[in-house]
Amino acid sequence: MAFNSLSYLGFLVAVVILYWILPLGLRRVLVYVASVAFYASWNVIFLWLPLAVAGVVFVCGRFIQANSATARKWLWIGIGILLALLAVFKYSAFLLSNLAGLWVALNSTSFSAASSFVFPVGISFYTFEAIAYLMDVRQGRVKMPDFVDLCLFFFFWPNILSGPIVRARELMPQLRFNRKFEPKYAFEGADRIVWGLVQKNVIANVLGIWVDRGFGAPSAALSTIDSWSLAVAFGLEIYFDFAGYTNLAIGTARLIGVTLPENFRYPYHAVSPADFWNRWHVTLSRWIRDYLFFPINAKWRGAPLPLYVSLIGVMALVGLWHGAGWGFLLWGTMHGVYLSAYRAYETARGEGGSAGKDSGGSWKAVWQIATLVAVVVAWVPFRAPSLAKAGSIFGAMFGRLSWRPEYGALFYVVTLTVALLCAVEPLLTGALAEVDEESGARGLSMFRIVVRPVAYLVGLILFLLFDQNYSQFIYSQF
Amino acid sequence: MLPDSQTIRNAACAAASELTGKTVKDGQKLVSSGLIDSLAVLKLISLLEEKLNIVIPPETLQPEDFDDLALIVETIERAGKAGK
């Protein structure tokens, strides 16, 4: 049951209405049942997996909390089991196919390494939440709850599929479900859901049709202008796809009065590679920073060599976290190199503040454009079906220059329009928030009674009209 | 013995202002606002250790423990150790 499906809309309406009708004591039961049913709708045979993850956290967390002398050992045991589960379900097929390739190359004999592992949705996300939970217990930031509460934390349906990756201290206190209904929950939730549906079904899916065709086309068919346009179109597709998913997740939670953390802060407005990662998939960046990058560099006190090695290594792992493939690894490594180069420049510059952010008008624009170009280039291996295909597209982008467009004008017009929408998104959001705030101060205003429901209706009609382009969220594959 | 709260707060203000190149005020968010990143937090820790003659073991800390002046004081009082 995908977030952008009609069946999900029906499920959501039923659960939310029941949630606010039921007495406080029964709300948790409802959310429990709804969460388990939602995850089971994806693949019922993997229902045991979030339970197993909760079990590992529960047992290891209890030992960590009970005895500080053995806490470190139990932390590593817990992390080891969680990573092993992730490796089995996410990386075994990739490892086996590469080992098979190596075997064939060395022995010139065939070797079958077909893997029948099915991918359990959400595993990358709830595994990271579980690791964070154990580390937070180790650092004394959270206490271990009972097993039932812990299971609900991992099963909570609004964010189980693809995040946002939440911390226990953010979500656990909200899982008491003891808030009284306020109209703002309905408005805020519906706003996010309708905008999320438009982002996914209207913008991302339409761009996705051209992107799929372009990245699947024979290598020689792409001109320079097509290759750059495709890279830009994919950058826009993945942003609106993932931001759309995130809005649906945050909106769903908001409808029952729960606040999930934001995942995007206008990433294509970033003024440096470091700024990009403060704006793109914020909850993953935060996880990487708090539980991987900071502890590693704290040990070395930010010394240059470990810093650059860890930047590239950690970002390569971020690439692999997205999927078992060389393209993801290359994408992550490219971002690691961008971040290292930027850090080296900052160090050489030797001033306080940040080079991109603190630059004046025209220099800021230069930083912004350079960051955007670097990010767009890195999307190529992320999306290309193979490294050979990525290399061919890079060749067309930087080497064999040819300006003959292969697509119809509509592709370029749509891509440009979406890019412009992306450029003015902060202004639009700011203006809408201002109108909403003003109308809120006047109680039930014209904006709330007429404009908002009409906007919801238009959004839903767009969703239905474009439903024929139905496709999965890109990040649900990670 | 650790310095008192006011001394830590003054040292934190001086160190954060030195890092950002701007005067940091009470309540101003440093990490969550993007004013300083995780590496700058490591520099901040080193500056604080130097200014206050204390040891702050950063392995058990997270960047957001240094998000504003009050949190820095709280973090040092919780995790800091006297003498270097």
pLDDT of residue B83: 60
CB distance A308 to A340 below 8 Å: yes
Say if the Cβ atoms of B21 and A352 lie within 8 Å. Answer: yes
pLDDT band at A70, cuts 50/70/90? very high
Closest CB from B18, B20, B42 relative to A301: B42
Which segment, A146-155, A339-348, B38-47, is predicted with the most confidence on average?
A146-155
Res. A442: pLDDT tops 80: no
A contact set with B (CB within 8 A): 138-140, 274-275, 278, 289-290, 293-295, 297-299, 301-302, 307, 343, 351-354, 357-358
**Going by DSSP bridges, is the β-strand pair B81-82/B54-55 parallel, antiparallel, or unpaired?**
antiparallel
pLDDT of residue A470: 59
Read off the pLDDT of each residue in A198-222 and give the average, rounded to a whole number.
Answer: 85
A267-277 pLDDT per residue, tens: 999 999 999 99
Q: Spell out which residues of chain A touch residue B37, defining contact as CB-CB under 8 Å.
A: 274, 278, 354
How many angstroms away from the CA of B27 is the closest CA of chain A?
Answer: 19
Lowest-pLDDT range, A19-23, A73-77, A92-96, A139-143? A92-96
CB distance A265 to A279 below 8 Å: yes
pLDDT band at A118, cuts 50/70/90? low
pLDDT of residue A296: 87
Q: H-type helices in A22-47, by residue range?
A: 24-42
Q: How far is A91 from A408, CA to CA, in rounded Å?
A: 39
Q: Spell out which residues of chain A touch residue B43, defining contact as CB-CB under 8 Å.
A: 302
Closest CB from B21, B43, B63 relative to A351: B21
Q: Does the model's ipTM exceed the 0.90 cut?
A: no
Res. B19: pLDDT tops 90: no
CB distance A195 to A4 below 8 Å: no
CB distance A50 to A86 below 8 Å: no
pLDDT of residue A369: 95
A230-246 pLDDT per residue, tens: 999 999 999 999 999 99
Say if the Cβ atoms of B59 and A297 lie within 8 Å. Answer: no
What is the per-residue DSSP string for A68-137? TTTHHHHHHHHHHHHHHHHIIIIIHHHHHHHHHHHHHHHH-S-------PPPPTTHHHHHHHHHHHHHHH
pLDDT of residue A443: 60
Residue A175: CB atoms within 10 Å: 18
Res. A22: pLDDT tops 80: yes
User: Kind and range of the H or E element at A239?
Assistant: helix A224-255
> B5-82, what's its fold?
1.10.1200
Name B81's bridge partners.
Answer: B55
Read off the pLDDT of each residue in A1-21 and give the average, rounded to a whole number.
Answer: 91
Read off the pLDDT of each residue in A157-184 and give the average, rounded to a whole number.
Answer: 93
Lowest-pLDDT range, A58-62, A76-80, B4-8? B4-8
For chain B, domain boundaries: 5-82
A92-105 pLDDT per residue, tens: 777 777 777 777 77
Q: Identify residue A411 by its one-letter amino acid code.
A: F
A315-366 pLDDT per residue, tens: 999 999 998 889 999 999 999 999 999 999 988 887 655 666 666 678 889 9
Name A399's bridge partners.
Answer: none
Peptide bond into A164 cis (omega under 30): yes
Find the residue in A nearest to B34 (Cα).
A278
B contact set with A (CB within 8 A): 18-22, 34, 37-39, 41-43, 45-46, 58-64
Residue A208: alpha-carbon gap to chain centroid? 17
pLDDT of residue A125: 95
pLDDT of residue B34: 81
Between residues A254 and A449, the one the model is more confident about: A254
With 0-12 / 13-18 / 19 or more C-beta atoms within 10 angstroms meaning exposed / middle / buried, residue A263 is buried
What is the per-residue DSSP string for A338-396? HHHHHHHHHHHH--SS-TTTTS-HHHHHHHHHHHHHHHHHHHHHHHSSSHHHHHHHHII
Q: How high is the mean pLDDT of chain A?
A: 88
Res. A91: pLDDT tops 90: no
- % of chain A surpassing 70 pLDDT: 90
How many angstroms away from the CA of B74 is the closest CA of chain A?
Answer: 14
